[in-house]
Each structure stands twice: as structure tokens, then as C-alpha cells.
Amino acid sequence: MNKFTKISSVALLAVSLAVPATTVFAAATASVTTSTAIAKLSAVPAGQLVSLVGVGSSANTAAIATGNVPVKVVKVKDIYDPETLDDLDEALSTTKRFAVDQLRAEIAANPATQSWFAQNGLDASTVLAVNTSRGSLHVYVQ
């Protein structure tokens, strides 16, 4: 093992120990992460959050329950600043209301996805968006 491999191994171990433990829920083969630290790293920037609201294809919502893709749950109130949350609330009460209602109806129409939410202690009626990013599904909830 060369010097750089040793350093890389030590650095990886240090990062692994420094990141808080994540909550992993039952899924067929993939994990569900609800760690705030991980969500901050993988969530969309604040400026893009409002435009993402209501986004979610039927393929993405169905994929939540398959366990084939890791799912990261992003609780928006835990990682975004108050100004962004105010913008989000305004969008939910006006322009994005219909899109969010459609997304939630799509989730409600899929029994496997509904079951997944129940098994993982999440309320499907709080979903704001389902987005695919970097090989994971990101489920944004209020």
C-alpha cells in the first residue's frame, strides 16, 4: 500500500466517524436516510427549492417503494432558512398548490408507496417534491 492510499484510508475513516449516524429504515434493498447533515449536502440549493415544489413523476413516486434506489428524505424546515421557508409557504398557497396536490394524489393512488411511507413513519400528505439526483431519490417533505 502506498503512502497516498494510507492517507486516503485514514481520511475516509475520519469522515465516516465525523458524520452523525443516519436513520435507516426498512426497504427492499436500498436505504432511507433522514440525517439532517446528509440532507444539507444533497438537497437542492435554497434558490431552487420553490421551483422544485410539485415535481415528481409517476416513475419516481413508484420507485420509492421498490427499494432499488436509495431514498433521502429532506425535511425542509430542518435545513432551509426562514426566508426560503416563507417563499415556499407563499408558493404553496398560490402557484404551486395544484402541482403539490397532484403529486400527493399520485402517491395516495399507489398502495405500495403509501405502505412505504407508513412503514417509515412519514406522512405522505407532507410531500413537496420527489426528485432524482446523484443516483438517489430525494423526497422533500414539510
Query: Is 8 inside any structural domain?
Result: no
CA distance 120 to 116: 6
Q: For residues 10 and 49, what is the distance between their CA atoms, to the nearest angstrom?
A: 36
Number of domains in the chain: 1
**Residue range 83-101, pLDDT digits in tens:** 999 999 999 998 899 999 9
Question: From the centroid of its chain, how far is CA 39?
Answer: 7
State the average pLDDT for the chain: 76
Q: Is residue 15, in this structure, part of any structural domain at all?
A: no
pTM over 0.85: no
Give start and end residues of each alpha helix (H) in 43-119.
46-52, 58-63, 76-79, 82-93, 97-108, 111-119
- Distance from the Cα of residue 131 to its chain's centroid: 8
The whole-number pLDDT of residue 37 equals 60
Domain limits for position 38:
22-141
Residue with the bigger pLDDT between 43 and 141: it is: 141
Is the predicted pLDDT of residue 111 greater than 90, yes or no?
Answer: yes
99 in a domain, yes or no?
yes
